[in-house]
Structure 1
């Protein structure tokens, strides 16, 4: 695996034709292998793509001080962004060539506070994909101890170009 990089300007992102010329699985593997730039949000939120399989995606990372709320705890938006990413990207692995997706809705449940600097793995797994929707669940767990920090679910809209 080569080093992943994150887009820093719009021209770093794949164009629409490039995106639609490959399956969602190939697209996600391209990011994992460093052939396609990762989204800027992943660099900002300090996580990166770790594994890609059909119907399953894992990210790894650790929140830093910039992800804290005014009380010093990890902001709920960090959990939400990470779970939205892993669950929706799991759906993306099931999207056929010539189609794309967007998140329609997602829900998260934070089960415990995540200490700043704790390395986590966020896993998204598809439970259904059809012609127009995909459904996935996700978890955030500590890498070292397996503790559950949050769960989520999503519904994504799948569209033909």
Structure 2
């Protein structure tokens, strides 16, 4: 009987790579009193402009229930503001406040400098290849991959 091939745990490896890279940025964020999620929100709003909550969840890869709490804290810190959309009062738009813009302006150059240090340490070629491969993976038709058929649960205990 042959042993089935067990693939390396790709999701876990991606998380490990994320954590290894993110470790180089945490000190910057902590210095300015931001969490990683808050920085993703500030950066997304600065780069994309005001967004609806569902768009922000997608841009920042933050689940909606978590986003509510993060936005509440950011609003108390006066980093973001929630306003009704002028064309549809049922919709909410999230924007950076002037204070949120200022936080971005202070942090972004440090983040860019850290990227330069990472690039100098591991090489521009590896960075470019990594971006290219991640872009390929994200553009692959993963939504068309069927799910494996699950066996019935053994209910006898």
From the CA coordinates, give the structure whose radius of gyration is larger: 2
Normalized per residue, which structure has more strand? 1
Q: If the TM-score is normalised by the length of the shorter chain, which range does it land in?
A: under 0.3
Q: What is the TM-score of this pair, normalised by structure 2?
A: 0.24
The structure carrying a bigger helix percent of its residues is: 2
